[in-house]
A and B are shown apart, each in its own frame.
Chain A
Amino acid sequence: MTNPTPHQFDEKGNLKHLLSLEGLKPHHLQKILSKAETFFEPHSKLIKPSSLLKGKTVVNLFFETSTRTRSTFELAAQKLSASVLNFNVSTSATSKGESLADTVKNLMAMQCDMFVIRHSASGAAQFVSTLLEPGIPVINAGDGCHAHPTQALLDVYTIRKHRGDLSKLNIAIVGDILHSRVARSQIQALHLMGVPEIRVIAPKTLLPQRTDALGVKVFHNLKDGLKDIDVIMMLRLQLERMEHALLPMGGAYYREFGLTREALAFANPNALIVHPGPINRGIEIESEIADSENAVILDQVTNGIAIRMAVMSLLADQQNLIGQP
């Protein structure tokens, strides 16, 4: 296969952008996770401020709505002492017909040092990386149905924190894999962390035709799929990306694939539950489960700040040599 992310590493092995997790090696992930750990006060959930990005300007370029991803990127940049420019798409020139390329060139003229981008088109982050001058990193905060690497990183960080070594865990991803950039990045991250069995659980209408490309076991029945599972990664139903007739209207999805206490009983005891948010109670997950001790959805949000600080500070140093063993 051709190099999928030709702009991600330079020839010396420095990570220049974070566009996807494809092409990264296990030690790259370990470096990012370890870096994230350094931002926490010892034995605490408190994140320490740092001056690693002092004097830099980070632009949050969000063409799709977002609450936690945009906010945690903003908080991460602030905690690293950077200035943050939030480019709000509804009030921007884009809504007056400016092309993505022109928007990016204008932001470059405003001397932005780092781009965080979310866009509805798969490949948009990579496209933006080709427009920028060398030395200006791009972090993909979600491109179409393609990738959302920082979400996957914070998920594996959270799983490792609560359940230890991922190479000893069986993990299932439940929900709309087909339209999910989160799932695509999660699967890559889980492979890199050495997870022995990765399952996806969904009806065929919410799976790619060629799931064999993903290296996962496929289940169309939730209870069968949850047997012997240690970690359940729930996905949100991406109703905004769906076309007609993928699912029946009404409660059919919840009945077949909703994570209820009854379904959860099929997984291993104390199975960990993660969810990228926003959660839809009673649509993909039973409310009580979302609030239970084994659901670490809010901890994911906190860890997201540290992960994004780690990625930003590594990329701000374009001599990060992260690609070297």
Chain B
Amino acid sequence: MKIMIQQGRVIDPKQNIDNTLDLYLENASLVSIGKPVDGFVPDKVYDAKGCWIMPGMVDLYAHLKEDAGIKPQEALAAAKKGFTMLFCAPVGNKATDTPTRVEKILESDSSKIDILPIAALTEALEGEKLADLTALKEAGCPIFTNALSPVKESHLLKNFYLYAASFDLKIVIFAQDPYLIKGHIHEGKISALRGLKGIPETAETIGLAQHLKLIEETGVRAHFSHLTTASGVEMIKEAKEKGLPITADCAMHHLHLTDVDTADFNPNTYVLPPLREDKDKKALEKGIMDGTLDAICSSHLPLPSTAKLAPFAESQPGISALDTFLSLGLHLVHENRLSAKAWVSAVTEGPKQAFLQQSASFNLGEKPDLIVIDPNHFWKVSKKDFLSKGHNSPFLDWTLPGKVVYTFKKGVAI
């Protein structure tokens, strides 16, 4: 089977490609970019005029799991909305803390994309007993986290990191102080006016300081997820310059919303860690642009409608994000807040390198994960268009650009 994807704007940040080009695939492998190999007669031509061709999106943090395994509807939503690889958070009543549970999750995934579990760092995410990390890795979990459940005792945390470092395993860290994070919105003018319990910036900076020092001492490789503050980005930058083995991301919603958006008590804007101020949003943008932040994650958390049918602080935090992720990224590019290259890198190459030390780039001879998107198709965000079962989105009624036209997983159209 010979395939030609014709005349799209190919964006491959790793190889510095940003040109209108043709791609040629033979038996699912990429054989040429730009010019056909001698005698190449395509069996099928995919028209990509006016479209962008980029690696498939990789999401570092999505809630796709239920006790029995991956939620099929959420996996389908991901596959249809431009993702070719997702890392699935270890939450739920039965955290991903044993090889059997990892195997069940991997078996349950019937989607045509890669859904990889992030394993629990500690048993039941309770922060006390170390999970069997090497067995979990053997079962198929490349990476570990205690999510937003804190390990409160620093000496335990140090031991966990020492153990992980012994096997060169990477840890995902939500650097939030377990006590200062106990609140509902950013501590600032809006919390002062609205009487909602504030979460100070120091929830993040104290959390970061603690973990960064332990990383320095133990040598564990780590990824900081869901950064929210300008000071936090600065600390990551300094730590990277110092040579610590770290990567970092922020969630897509933190690039679009601030605490001001919570001022009308809309429960759909309730997230943890919280929406911060405009200066923080701008610092996250800059962090993506200059590479301090390696990735943008979805933080997808689909909730039933009853979860948000309550006053702000009594509703459940979280955003159903898969359906809007591509479009919100493109929106930043359209508004010149991110370059196309920086955005594509932060949702493809950056995250894949961060968790797997693998490239998402279009390499000849390999079977590429790629998507063809129409960047100028505008749509009004509406519950009826959501493929995710969760309709908990603060972006409802926004008009956004972007539509997935084709998705290729390992060189095959899905």
A-contact 0/1 string along B230-270, CB 8 Å cutoff: 00000000000000000000000000000011011100000
Shortest C-beta distance, B200 to chain A (Å), equals: 7
Instruction: Give Cα A213 to B260, complex, Å.
Output: 12
Which one of A87-95, A117-125, A286-294, A315-323 contacts B? A117-125
Shortest C-beta distance, B316 to chain A (Å), equals: 13
Flag if A127 contacts B311 (CB, 8 Å). yes
Q: Which of A187-225 contact B (CB under 8 A)?
A: 208-214
Flag if A122 contacts B313 (CB, 8 Å). yes
Flag if A101 contacts B200 (CB, 8 Å). no
Flag if A213 contacts B189 (CB, 8 Å). yes
B interface residues, tally (CB under 8 Å): 25
B24 at the interface (CB under 8 A from A): no
Which one of A101, A122, A212 lies within 8 Å of B195 (CB-CB)? A122
Which one of A101, A123, A126 lies within 8 Å of B313 (CB-CB)? A123
With known contacts A99-B310, A100-B310, A121-B313, A213–B264 Cβ distance under 8 A: no
Flag if B265 contacts A127 (CB, 8 Å). yes
Instruction: Give Cα A127 to B198, complex, Å.
Output: 20
Residues of A with C-beta under 8 A to B187:
208-210
Residues of A with C-beta under 8 A to B190:
213
B129 at the interface (CB under 8 A from A): no
With known contacts A99-B310, A122-B196, A127-B310, A209–B260 Cβ distance under 8 A: no
Instruction: Give Cα A6 to B200, complex, Å.
Output: 27
Flag if B195 contacts A144 (CB, 8 Å). yes
Flag if B188 contacts A209 (CB, 8 Å). yes
Which one of A4, A100, A143, A212 lies within 8 Å of B263 (CB-CB)? A4
A181 at the interface (CB under 8 A from B): yes
A147 at the interface (CB under 8 A from B): yes
Flag if B193 contacts A101 (CB, 8 Å). no
A-contact 0/1 string along B50-68, CB 8 Å cutoff: 0000000000000000000
A-contact 0/1 string along B175-203, CB 8 Å cutoff: 00000000000011111111111101000
Shortest C-beta distance, B406 to chain A (Å), equals: 38
Closest Cβ neighbor of B260 among chain A residues: A1
Flag if B310 contacts A147 (CB, 8 Å). no
Instruction: Give Cα A214 to B193, complex, Å.
Output: 7
Residues of B with C-beta under 8 A to A123:
194, 196, 265, 311-313
Instruction: Give Cα A262 to B189, complex, Å.
Output: 35
Instruction: Give Cα A29 to B312, complex, Å.
Output: 28
B306 at the interface (CB under 8 A from A): yes
Flag if B264 contacts A6 (CB, 8 Å). yes
B314 at the interface (CB under 8 A from A): yes
Flag if B309 contacts A101 (CB, 8 Å). yes
Flag if B191 contacts A119 (CB, 8 Å). no
Flag if B188 contacts A210 (CB, 8 Å). yes
Which one of B194, B260, B314 lies within 8 Å of A146 (CB-CB)? B194
Q: Which of A207-247 contact B (CB under 8 A)?
A: 208-214
Closest Cβ neighbor of B191 among chain A residues: A208
Binding site for A on B (CB under 8 A): 187-198, 200, 260-261, 263-265, 306, 309-314
- Interface CB pairs A-B, < 8 A, 24: A4-B264, A99-B306, A99-B309, A122-B195, A122-B313, A123-B194, A123-B196, A123-B313, A124-B311, A126-B265, A127-B312, A144-B195, A144-B196, A144-B311, A146-B195, A146-B196, A179-B195, A208-B187, A209-B188, A209-B192, A211-B192, A213-B189, A213-B190, A213-B192
| 5 closest cross-chain pairs (CB), A and B | A145-B195, A123-B265, A208-B192, A213-B189, A121-B311
Binding site for B on A (CB under 8 A): 1-6, 22, 99-101, 119, 121-124, 126-127, 143-147, 179, 181, 184, 208-214
